[in-house]
């Protein structure tokens, strides 16, 4: 992997950090490029009180100078404002009053959360040691890394957008997507491009909140402007569709990923699935459909990547489900913690970030180069070779 990242930090710790490696030198990059996506991730109807406390922004700690990347690892910091309220609970040092449990111990695991399996695996008595890292707060770091990759992709004419297609029982109708998907989706509080469906989603979220329940949903990510042939058919780990699925499934609460027709393709005969090939009047091949969702043989076709990502409802319920007390072994209701009713609108922004990272990595693996100048030259030379094939 050329472009890779790692993140650290707990939800109520001092800060989140991310180190992004493999970005070539000479990419124009400013804090604003990252903050824009951090803010987009925080928006969305159905979020809890935490998003009113935070005001995410990035601080570059390394890898950027005078508005340009240096080719060295990019180190980024996002402070948790809520830390002020949690500094004793999350203190890294041992404290004189640490004989008993720290305040806000989570002792009754929430079904669906990492709580129970985490305390067993990591041998902890307080599930807070697990949930603080399992929290989707971590995705702010991913979005920061994705924003840098998005900036790189823009230089190659590649755009990454998303919209919400389902929340709970509400399904948006299939519409033709606007050219600038995000500028339309971001105008909606639920990031849905259909106004009626968006209103129905808001009502469904209100009903779930009143019932002290939570809702999941589905987002669609669209990546446009890709060169043909990113990824490879030759080995399982080089297949771009596989890499995208892995990246999306790694997002907290995601339970399903589909490319193009996805599961629907399995129900149709081949004649109703495969994208037929036509030649235009200059002999250049094209497809009228994109049922494949932008990959064939694990490689980009040059058409848009269309990825659907499904999220389960958040597992912290204000009307808690059956559980037990880790200390006493008695049955009890799971612990209720402040949380969101839904985070599906944010899932779109996070999925964009993961898609941007996967695609930027595939581009860099294929075309290499330590600098943006070399990367561009290599891409141009490849595209020239591909296009010359149709000059008969």
Interface contacts to ligand EPS, rule CB under 6 A: 11, 48, 50, 54, 82, 135-137, 140, 316, 337-340
The first and second tokens of residue 104, run together, are 């806000």
Q: How far is the CB of 189 from ligand EPS (least distance, A)?
A: 16
Helices 372-388, 344-367: crossing angle, 10 deg rounding: 80
In whole angstroms, what is the distance from residue 367 CA to residue 230 CA? 10
Cβ proximity to ligand EPS, 132 vs 166, nearer residue: 132
Q: Which is nearer to ligand EPS, 162 or 316 (CB)?
A: 316
- Burial class (CB within 10 angstroms; exposed 0-12, middle 13-18, buried 19+) of 296: middle
Query: Smallest distance from the beta carbon of 337 to ligand EPS, in angstroms?
Result: 5
Q: Which is nearer to ligand EPS, 275 or 340 (CB)?
A: 340
Q: What is the DSSP letter of 21?
A: E
Cα–Cα distance for residue pair 121/127, rounded to 1 Å: 11
Smallest gap from residue 382 Cβ to ligand EPS (A): 39
Alpha-carbon span 300 to 246, nearest angstrom:
17
- The residue (of 85 and 289) whose beta carbon lies closer to ligand EPS is 85
Question: Would you state the torsion angle of the CA atoms of residues 241, 371, 72, 136, taken in this order, to the nearest 10 degrees?
Answer: -30
Rounded to a whole number of angstroms, the minimum distance from the CB of residue 252 to ligand EPS is 6
Please say whether the beta carbons of 149 and 359 come within 8 A: yes
CB nearer to ligand EPS: pick between 112 and 302: 112
Q: Give the gyration radius of the chain's Cα atoms.
A: 22
> 187-216: buried (b, 16+ CB within 10 Å) or exposed (e) per residue?
ebbbbbbbeebbebbbebbeebbeeeebbb
C-beta of residue 324 within 8 angstroms of C-beta of residue 255: no
Q: Which is nearer to ligand EPS, 3 or 190 (CB)?
A: 190
Residues ≥6 apart with Cβ < 8 Å to 155 = 27, 372, 376
The span from the CA of 357 to the CA of 364, in Å, is: 10
Residue 244 vs 349, nearer CB to ligand EPS: 349
- Least separation in angstroms between CB 48 and ligand EPS: 5
Closest separation between CB of residue 372 and ligand EPS, Å? 31
Residue by residue, DSSP assigns 177-196 as: PPSSHHHHHTTSTT--SSHH
Least spacing, CB of residue 210 vs ligand EPS, in Å: 19
Question: Which residue's CB is nearer to ligand EPS, number 131 or number 356?
Answer: 131
Tell me how far, at minimum, the Cβ of 265 lies from ligand EPS, in Å. 33
| Distance in angstroms (rounded) separating the CA atoms of residues 166 and 352 | 17
**Residue closer to ligand EPS, measured from CB, 48 or 297:** 48
Closest separation between CB of residue 15 and ligand EPS, Å? 12
Q: Is the dihedral of CA 61, 66, 68, 71 positive or negative?
A: negative
Residue closer to ligand EPS by CB (options 189, 337) is 337
Rounded-to-integer distance, Cα 188 and Cα 181, Å: 12
Alpha helices per DSSP H over 213-255: 240-249
In whole angstroms, how close is the CB of 59 to ligand EPS at the nearest point?
A: 17
């Amino acid at each position: 992997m050329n472009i890779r990242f790692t993140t650290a930090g707990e939800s109520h710790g001092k800060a989140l950090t991310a180190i992004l490696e493999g970005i070539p030198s000479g990419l124009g990059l400013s804090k604003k490029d990252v903050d824009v996506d951090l803010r987009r991730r925080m928006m969305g109807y159905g979020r809890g009180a935490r998003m009113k406390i935070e005001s995410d922004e990035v601080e570059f700690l390394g890898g950027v100078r005078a508005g340009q990347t240096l080719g060295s690892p990019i180190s980024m910091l996002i402070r948790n404002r809520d830390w002020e309220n949690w500094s004793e609970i999350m203190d890294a040092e041992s404290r004189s009053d640490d004989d008993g449990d720290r305040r806000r111990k989570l002792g009754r695991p929430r079904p669906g959360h990492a709580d129970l399996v985490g305390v067993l695996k990591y041998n902890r008595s307080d599930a807070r040691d697990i949930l603080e890292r399992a929290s989707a707060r971590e995705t702010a770091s991913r979005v920061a890394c994705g924003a840098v990759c998005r900036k790189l992709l823009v230089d190659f004419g590649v755009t990454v957008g998303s919209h919400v297609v389902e929340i709970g029982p509400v399904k948006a109708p299939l519409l033709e997507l606007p050219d600038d998907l995000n500028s339309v989706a971001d105008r909606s509080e639920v990031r849905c491009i259909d106004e009626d469906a968006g209103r129905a989603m808001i009502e469904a979220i209100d009903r779930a909140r009143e019932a002290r329940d939570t809702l999941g949903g589905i987002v669609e990510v669209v990546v446009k402007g890709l060169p043909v042939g990113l990824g490879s058919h030759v080995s399982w780990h080089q297949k771009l569709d596989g890499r995208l699925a892995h990246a999306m499934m790694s997002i907290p609460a995601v339970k399903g990923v589909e490319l193009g027709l996805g599961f629907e393709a399995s129900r149709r005969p081949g004649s109703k699935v495969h994208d037929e090939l036509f030649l235009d009047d200059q002999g250049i091949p094209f497809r009228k459909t994109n049922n494949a969702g932008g990959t064939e043989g694990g490689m980009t076709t040059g058409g848009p990547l269309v990825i659907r990502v499904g999220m389960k409802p958040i597992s912290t319920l204000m009307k808690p489900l059956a559980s037990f007390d880790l200390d006493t072994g008695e049955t009890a209701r799971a612990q209720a913690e402040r949380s969101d009713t839904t985070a599906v609108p944010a899932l779109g922004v996070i999925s964009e970030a993961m898609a941007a990272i996967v695609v930027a990595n595939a581009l860099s693996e294929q075309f290499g180069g330590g600098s943006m100048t070399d990367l561009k030259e290599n891409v141009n030379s490849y595209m020239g070779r591909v296009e010359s094939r149709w000059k008969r």
